[in-house]
Structure 1
Amino acid sequence: MGEFILNVEIDDIMMPYLKQTGNMYNLCVAKKVGTDYNVVWSGNTQYLAKNKFQFEEQYQVFGGNKFGSGALVEAQTEPVNIAFGEVAVLQDTGVFQPAKDADNKKELVDSASFAVNNDYQAICIGVNGKINGKFLPIYLSRQLVTGSIELQPKVEVMVWFSNKERTSSMIMKAAALSTTVDFTGHTTRTIRYTQADPDHPGKGKWIKL
């Protein structure tokens, strides 16, 4: 399985604006699933000038609470490990069977995806991804799922600062001042947050190194 490293550097000049008393900003990272970034994978104030996020293509699926902007993802079933090319069945008892290889190619449109077959009642389906050694939510379906759903995590992340969202927060759209990082063909990428304009202290911008 691939292992990836995202280095996030923050210039010292930006720290006083990001860590103001009473208005602390979280450094947020989200991972793309399909065409969507909709859950904060990691978001906290424990950042310094140099920060490393290490992640692998290891995933779990689970049944979760209803999608709502700003709410936190809450698993309502036990998660089950899943790999590309596999299908997990949520039984009518509300318990996941262990994921297994798809019976035929028709079950999966793309080889770099996996699926959930829901035999339970309508529920949102979530995905956990492993970051810095811990499984955390990266995605929750916006609609309740009945039947099957195919899920395709990408090696693309979005990074931004927020004084509202934190780890496991659901988000409706990309943050205004964010940057995306595509790891296709790379195992390590580095970005830096620096001052955008000397005449406007506190206004920042992202640079890809």
Structure 2
Amino acid sequence: MAQVYTLNVLIDNAVLALHSKDSLCIAKKVNGVYDVVFQGAAPVPSGDQKLLLANNQFQWTEEYRVFLTQSFGNGVMISHSTTPVEISFGQVAIWKDGALQPAVTADTSTWDLVDGSSPDTTFAVESAPISLHAAVEQSTGGGQYSTIYVDPDIHMGDTRIELTPKNEYLVFWKKITTTEAMLAISTSVGHQWKFAPGKTIKTIRFGYATPEQPSSALEIPTWADEATWTLGPQHLRGGPPKHSSAQAAARHS
């Protein structure tokens, strides 16, 4: 059975009381970048979003599928142009006769394996048409999958596209209505994290330095890791939109 990974996201009720329309977004790093919202929650959920609460839980397993898509561009909805194919590390799915064929064990001795990747952490797609982009989706349990990456590049000739999912994630806020969309994602607007070695559960919090107690109308909520709840950068710009000092003061009067 595939390993289940769990992310718990705690949000101060004082933050939820701001009534922001932004969605909580989770992205997974693949090939060194974040370019798709993997899972998420919203105050008024749509599509496959969850309802945003004070305690939110997200789960996924280390099971992957690859497919090809014509979808590409910031904010573009991702659609499948081919049937997804299950794939494991060290395997390759080859485009032939108008479809991606079932993944097979690859001769990885010819692979590029850049940026510290290895056959134990990489799979590939070969011979995809120039008009289509390779994409990866990951299991979220119950037979469901969510896209984690779309290759942004156009590849000329008979190419091999190597795909390396990383145990690295980004949580951030953005006003979107679905998790199945490409985005130009900057790490500066969110909180990067990863599971500790041997761990499969992670808890992070978004709120004030003293939970539920903003020190003043000017304090900006931000991300904190568990353990010591040490807060991240105080000038995070990816959180719910700020209100004026007068509005904030009125809320706490």
Q: Is residue 90 of structure 1 aligned with residue 95 of structure 2?
A: yes
- Is the CA contact (8 Å cut-off) linking 2:130 and 2:154 kept in structure 1? no
Tell me which residue corresponds to 2:127.
118
Q: Distance in 1 between matches of 2:218 and 2:58?
A: 28
User: Runs of 5+ in structure 1 lacking a partner?
Assistant: none
| Other-structure match for 1:198 | 215
Mapped contact 1:56–1:131 kept (Cα < 8 A): yes
Whether the aligned pair in 2 keeps the contact of 1:44 and 1:166 (CA below 8 Å) is: no
Structure 2, unaligned runs of 5 or more: 43-50, 227-253
> Post-superposition shift, 1:108?
6.3
2:106 is aligned with what amino acid? A
Of 127, 131, 135 in structure 1, the residue corresponding to residue 140 of structure 2 is 131
RMSD: 2.0
Residue type at the aligned position of 1:97: Q
Q: Which residue of 2 aligns with 1:154?
A: 166
Distance 1:51 1:108, change over 3 A: same
Picking from 75, 97, 100, the partner of 2:80 is 75
1:3 paired residue number: 4
Amino acid paired to 1:68 = G
The structural deviation recorded for 1:79 is 0.6
Aligned partner of 1:44: which letter?
Answer: A
Q: 2:91 is matched by which residue type in structure 1? A: E
Offset from partner CA, 1:34-76 (integer Å, 9 cap, x none): 2100000113311211111111111010001242011111111
Structure 1 pair 119/171, CA: closer, same or farther in 2 (3 Å)?
Answer: closer
Bigger share in strand = 1
1:42 aligns with 2:39: yes
Alignment of 1:53 with 2:58, yes or no, is yes
Which has the higher Rg, Structure 1 or Structure 2? 2
C-alpha spacing 1:190/1:124, structure 2 compared with 1 (3 Å) = same
Paired residues, number: 204
1:185-207 deviations in Å (ceiling 9; x for gaps): 02111100003653236832000
Distance 2:173 2:123 in 1: 31
Say which structure, 1 or 2, has more relative contact order (CA 8 Å, 6+ apart).
1
The residue number in structure 1 matching 2:107 is 103
Displacement of 1:142 in angstroms is: 0.7
**Is residue 28–residue 159 contact of structure 1 (8 Å, CA) maintained in 2?**
yes
Contact 1:28-1:43 within 8 A present in 2 as well = yes
The alignment's TM-score, normalised by the length of structure 2, stands at 0.74
| Counterpart for residue 27 of structure 1 | 24
Q: CA 1:27–1:119 in 2, change beyond 3 Å: closer, same or farther? A: closer
Point out the more displaced range, 100-109 or 73-82: 100-109
Q: Give the TM-score normalised by structure 1.
A: 0.89
